[in-house]
A and B are shown apart, each in its own frame.
Chain A
Amino acid sequence: MDTFLFHFKTAYAFWLVDHFHWMWPMLETLHFIGMALLVGIVSILDLRMLGVAKGLPIAPLQRLVPWAVFGFVINLLTGLIFVSSAPGNYNTSIAFRLKVLFILLAGLNVLAFYVTGISRAVDALGPGADAPRSAKVVAGISLFLWVGVMFWGRMLPFLWTQGANAE
């Protein structure tokens, strides 16, 4: 983790944030926009698999997913700039490590969703069809992990750290 942080600790990112006072607030704003986009779309898909709005066929619903990926990419990029420009806020933070862990677990969960064929199985579900138990487990884990990612991210300035800049 420390080498990871070290490699992204670029002088350029620090310079940008230090030089332009609007940079950090703007990146935070983008981070919140990406978060809403990602969580909104992922939770709709998860809730459908868990049995909410069963009138929705899942294949066309999955066409919203690229927008969730877009939100994730915004947050990956802005997040990398946060970490590289103010490493002191993160490199000793347990909350940050838990956040990264939850993101990795969410990634594995998505991987499992596609690799094990659950994605194809739910794609075949038309209006009114119930998702298989495996899909419900993946959906429940996804909801838990993304709420967890928001929790560790928002609590980061308050847990096990004195960092004030990230608020």
Chain B
Amino acid sequence: MSFLLWLEDAFKWVQEADSIFAYPMILTFHTFGMAFLVGTSVAIDLSILGVARGLPLPPMEKFYPVMIVAFWINVVSGALLFAPEATRWTFNPDFLLKMALVFLGVLIIRLIRTTVFRSAAGPDSASVSMRGKVLAATSIAVWLAAITAGRLTAYVDSWSKFTSLFVVTGN
């Protein structure tokens, strides 16, 4: 607990610095990283599932560095967004769910590398194993859930705040 408070103190400049190069720019880099990590991953998943008929899959592995760079941009930017509000995020179930989903999504990207790209599979999606197809479909589902949980961190600090989203007001 005191570690969380120390973190918050050490990184409060992220939110308190009156500069668009602090919080706003870090948030923007987090968005870039998300788009390139998730977007590239989903494009690879769609290819594995056979959306692009006739597309040879092995060269698609060349886009792994894009995802790896995007991932590390988001580890760094994410840590900087986490630290100034370390206590808030540590005890936010939606944030923890998001982290679990991101971990799972990245794990699946690695599993797809060994299952689809590093196995002796044939040239295109027609020769991908059932395991490879299931991984690709699961990847898309996990990223959709991760984006949803991630976007909701801006709105959901607690279960009651989550349920309050569904209370109908006005007329």
* A residues neighboring B (CB under 8 Å): 15, 18-22, 25, 28-29, 32-33, 35-41, 43-44, 47, 52-57, 59-61, 63-64, 67, 127, 147, 150-151, 154-155, 157-159, 167
Q: Given A21-B165, A29-B148, does the pair A150, B52 have CB atoms closer than 8 Å?
A: no
Are A29's CB and B39's CB within 8 A? no
Most buried by A among B27, B31, B39, B66: B39
B147 adjacent to A36 (CB under 8 Å) = yes
Which of chain B's residues have a CB closer than 8 A to the CB of A40?
A: 35-36, 38-43
Selected from A20, A55, A61, A150, the residue in CB contact (under 8 A) with B28 is: A150
**Cβ A64 vs Cβ B47 within 8 A:** yes
Further contacts, 16 of them, CB under 8 A, given A22-B166, A43-B39: A19-B170, A21-B168, A25-B155, A25-B165, A32-B150, A36-B34, A36-B143, A39-B35, A43-B66, A52-B63, A55-B62, A63-B53, A63-B55, A151-B32, A155-B28, A158-B24
> When A and B form their complex, what is the total count of cross-chain residue pairs whose Cβ atoms lie within 8 Å?
130
The answer to whether B43 touches A64, judged by C-beta atoms less than 8 angstroms apart, is: yes
Give A39 to B148 CA distance when docked, in angstroms. 18
Asked if B164 is an interface residue, CB under 8 A from chain A, the answer is yes
Residue of B nearest to A17 (CB): B170
CB atoms of A33 and B144 under 8 A apart: yes
* Among A15, A41, A56, A147: residue with most chain B CB under 10 A: A56
Within 8 A of A (CB), among B67-96: none
Contacting pair A44 B55 (CB below 8 A): no
Which residue of chain A has its CB nearest to the CB of B38? Answer: A36
Can you pick out 10 interface pairs between chain A and chain B where the beta carbons lie within 8 Å of each other? A21-B167, A33-B144, A35-B35, A44-B40, A60-B53, A60-B56, A64-B52, A67-B51, A127-B56, A155-B28
B residues near A, CB below 8 A? 20, 24-25, 27-28, 31-32, 34-36, 38-43, 46-47, 51-56, 58-60, 62-63, 66, 143-144, 147-148, 150-152, 154-155, 164-171
Q: Which residue of A lies closest to B62 (CB)?
A: A53
A44-B165 contact given A25-B151, A150-B28, CB 8 Å threshold: no
Flag if B143 contacts A60 (CB, 8 Å): no
Q: How far is the CA of A64 from the CA of B20 in the complex (A)?
A: 36
SS of B interface (majority): helix
In angstroms, Cα B154 to Cα A32, docked, is: 13
Query: Please, which residues of chain B bring their CB within 8 A of the CB of A18?
Result: 170
B55 x A60 contact (CB < 8 A): yes
Rounded to whole Å, the gap between the CB of B143 and the closest CB of chain A is 7
| Chain A residues with CB under 8 A of B56 | 55-57, 60, 127
Least Cβ distance of A139 to chain B in Å?
14
Residue pair A63, B59 in contact (C-beta under 8 Å): no
Instruction: Point out the residues of chain B lying under 8 angstroms from A55, CB to CB.
Output: 56, 58-59, 62
User: With A and B bound together, what is the CA distance between A41 and B29 in angstroms?
Assistant: 19
Query: In the assembly, what is the distance between CA of A56 and CA of B134, in Å?
Result: 23
Partner of A36 from B42, B46, B58, B59 at Cβ < 8 Å: B42
Q: Are A53 and B47 in contact, with the CB atoms below 8 A? A: no
Q: Which residues of B contact A56 (CB under 8 A)?
A: 55-56, 59-60
The answer to whether A150 touches B151 (Cβ under 8 A) is no
Give CA–CA (A67, B51) in the complex, Å.
9
